[in-house]
């Protein structure tokens, strides 16, 4: 959520920045500013009314103490009006506050100055590309065929047990998943991230905190009996660990990593592009979450990008990095780099990581602040990134490393999987 302070002080800049999302923000911001003004006017009036009532109460107390009951009763009568008035003002204030809240919730984050304007993924800007696309042998197969051929992943079995989009990993397929998870966690902890195992269900407050609610309600599985949500990403529970905290500056930066399954309803997406592992209702992901001082967050974002690059290079996968344009940028993000690996058999790029700086957008909702050395309190900056989303890594590994007689895994995975070749 954008801060009121920023909306009041930098409205023109915000209108310009939000314009990159193809959003005509001027009228929305004016509405917010108007609501905020009336909210504050109501608050001031209510405060004055309460102050008067408090004063009277104290006097009444004194009078009772000194036995002047009659005088006290006279004053009592006077409080009735004040009570009525403060009740009314309180209700108006509450209405104003919830209206303001509602408007604020609907405003997406303002894109960073480097974000290109644009409508869709066609306007994303490629900022880096590395790795050779391998020459495949004549009968190269897409990963869903390979998964079947070597009995690694059974999609039909998942349909039987649960439904479409819930694959069953078997044998070396399961072991490859586990090996990748361990490899990612080891690399992340070596880079200074603390490993976290968070809950896989979160409450509504957490969903609101990181911005999945209220706008993406339909994307999450909702356990209505207990009013909990299955997490769509580890970002939600891990970032919410810090919800409402007032940290010391010396505690920053905070760097967490965690593996969780991720659950997404992906309502309405069917077709060739969601075949196999390309889009699932349940998938595994190792996530990175950082909390930074405001002045450090962009350096930290660069650091995360470098870290993820290192992983992809060790996995020897051809990849590219895109700077997302305003139209493709997530609701809460100020700047996002998407990592895509090339899936040779499918001849397309697959998104496997998204690294974002949310600046203070999330922390404003989360009320995540820190106290700097001079005692000033300010909202922290939050960032996150995937390292990495498993299914598409698996898809790319299977497809890119396939040979006539099996799949040769990149060296770094051998010890993690306990085998070097799938055949």
Partner RNA sequence: GGAGGAAUGGCAGAGUGGUCGAAUGCGGCAGUCUUGAAAACUGUUGAGGGUCACACCUCCGGGGGUUCGAAUCCCUCUUCCUCCGCCA
Residue 353 is labelled as binding a ligand: yes
Residue closer to RNA (CB basis): 132 or 374: 374
Q: Residue 58 interacts with RNA (CB under 7 A)? A: yes
CA–CA dist 289, 194 (Å, integer)? 10
Total of chain residues touching RNA, rule CB under 7 A: 27
User: Which of the stretches 61-69, 152-160, 277-285, 382-390 binds RNA when contact is defined by CB under 7 A?
Assistant: 61-69
Residue closer to RNA (CB basis): 58 or 130: 58
Sign of CA dihedral 50, 54, 59, 61: positive
User: Which of the stretches 40-48, 130-138, 160-168, 347-355 binds RNA when contact is defined by CB under 7 A?
Assistant: 40-48
Starting at the edge strand found earlier in the chain, the sheet holding 402-403 runs: 402-403, 406-408, 421-422
Residue 354 is labelled as binding a ligand: yes
User: Which of the stretches 19-27, 76-84, 137-145, 193-201 binds RNA when contact is defined by CB under 7 A?
Assistant: 76-84
- Each residue 227-266 as x (binds RNA by CB under 7 A) or -, in order, gives -------------------x--------------------
Q: Which two tokens stand for residue 227?
A: 């009013």
- The pairing of beta strand 194-196 with beta strand 254-263: parallel
Q: Residue 44 interacts with RNA (CB under 7 A)? A: yes
- DSSP secondary structure, 102-136, as one string: HHHHHPPPPPPTTPPP-SSGGG-EEEEEE-PPPPP
Residue closer to RNA (CB basis): 48 or 133: 48
Residue 287 is labelled as binding a ligand: yes
Q: Residue 37 interacts with RNA (CB under 7 A)? A: no
CA–CA dist 87, 69 (Å, integer)? 27
3-class SS at 409? coil
CA–CA dist 381, 363 (Å, integer)? 7
Q: Residue 61 interacts with RNA (CB under 7 A)? A: yes
Q: Which two tokens stand for residue 146?
A: 């390979």
CA–CA dist 134, 276 (Å, integer)? 21
CA–CA dist 353, 388 (Å, integer)? 6
User: Which of the stretches 49-57, 99-107, 340-348, 381-389 binds RNA when contact is defined by CB under 7 A?
Assistant: 49-57
Q: Which two tokens stand for residue 37?
A: 């003004």
CB of 282 to RNA, least distance (A): 20
Site of tokens 């939600």: 236
Residue 352 is labelled as binding a ligand: yes
Of 293, 320, 287, which Cα lies nearest the Cα of 376? 293
* Residues 6+ away with beta carbon under 8 Å from 268: none
One residue of 16, 43, 182, 316 binding RNA per CB under 7 A: 43
Residue 206 is labelled as binding a ligand: no
- Each residue 365-404 as x (binds RNA by CB under 7 A) or -, in order, gives ----x-x-----x---------------------------
Of 9, 23, 4, 10, which Cα lies nearest the Cα of 103? 4
User: Which of the stretches 50-58, 112-120, 334-342, 384-392 binds RNA when contact is defined by CB under 7 A?
Assistant: 50-58
One residue of 56, 157, 241, 274 binding RNA per CB under 7 A: 56
Q: Residue 197 interacts with RNA (CB under 7 A)? A: no
Q: Residue 48 interacts with RNA (CB under 7 A)? A: yes
Count Cβ atoms below 10 Å from residue 373 Cβ, excluding itself: 8
**CA–centroid distance for 203 within its chain:** 15
Residue 385 · residue 287 · CB < 8 Å: yes
Q: Residue 33 interacts with RNA (CB under 7 A)? A: no
One residue of 57, 219, 316, 372 binding RNA per CB under 7 A: 57
Using CB under 7 A, list all residues that contact RNA: 40, 43-44, 46-48, 50-51, 53-58, 60-62, 64-65, 76, 79-80, 83, 246, 369, 371, 377
Q: Which residues are annotated as a binding site?
A: 233, 264-266, 287, 351-354, 384
Q: Which residues are annotated as a binding site for ATP?
A: 264-266, 351-354
């Amino acid at each position: 959520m954008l801060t009121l302070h920023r909306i009041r002080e930098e409205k023109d800049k915000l209108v310009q920045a939000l314009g990159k999302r193809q959003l005509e923000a001027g009228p929305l911001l004016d509405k917010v500013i108007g609501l905020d003004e009336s909210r504050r006017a109501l608050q001031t009036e209510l405060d004055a009314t309460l102050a008067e009532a408090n004063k009277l109460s104290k006097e009444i107390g004194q009078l009772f103490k000194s036995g002047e009951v009659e005088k006290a009763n006279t004053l009592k009568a006077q409080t009735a009006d004040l009570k009525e008035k403060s009740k009314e003002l309180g209700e108006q204030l509450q209405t104003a506050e919830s209206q303001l809240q509602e408007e604020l919730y609907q405003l997406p984050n303002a894109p960073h100055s480097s974000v290109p304007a644009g409508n869709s993924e066609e306007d994303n800007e490629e900022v880096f590309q590395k790795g050779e696309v391998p020459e495949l042998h004549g009968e190269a197969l897409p990963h869903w065929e390979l998964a079947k051929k070597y009995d690694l992943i059974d999609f039909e079995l998942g349909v039987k047990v649960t439904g479409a989009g819930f694959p069953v990993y078997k044998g070396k397929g399961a072991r490859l998943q586990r090996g990748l998870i361990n490899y990612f966690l080891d690399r992340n902890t070596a880079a200074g991230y603390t490993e976290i195992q968070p809950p896989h269900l979160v409450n509504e407050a957490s969903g609101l905190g990181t911005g999945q609610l209220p706008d993406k309600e339909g994307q999450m599985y909702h356990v209505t009996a207990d009013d909990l949500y299955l997490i769509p990403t580890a970002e939600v529970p891990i970032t919410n660990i810090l919800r409402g905290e007032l940290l010391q500056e010396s505690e920053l930066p905070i760097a967490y990593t965690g593996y969780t399954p991720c659950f997404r309803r992906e309502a309405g997406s069917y077709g060739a592009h969601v075949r196999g592992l390309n889009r699932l209702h349940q998938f595994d992901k190792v996530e990175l979450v950082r909390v930074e001082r405001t002045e450090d967050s962009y350096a930290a974002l660069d650091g995360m990008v470098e870290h993820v690059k290192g992983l992809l290079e060790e996995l020897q996968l051809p990849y590219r990095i895109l700077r997302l344009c305003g139209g493709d940028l997530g609701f809460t993000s100020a700047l996002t780099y998407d990592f895509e690996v090339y899936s040779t058999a499918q001849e397309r790029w697959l998104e496997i990581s998204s690294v974002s700086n949310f600046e203070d957008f999330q922390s404003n909702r989360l009320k995540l602040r820190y106290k700097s050395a001079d005692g000033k309190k300010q909202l922290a900056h939050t960032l996150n990134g995937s390292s990495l989303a498993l299914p598409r890594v698996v898809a790319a590994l299977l497809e890119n490393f396939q040979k006539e007689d099996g799949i040769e895994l990149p060296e770094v995975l051998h010890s993690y999987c306990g085998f070097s070749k799938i055949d």
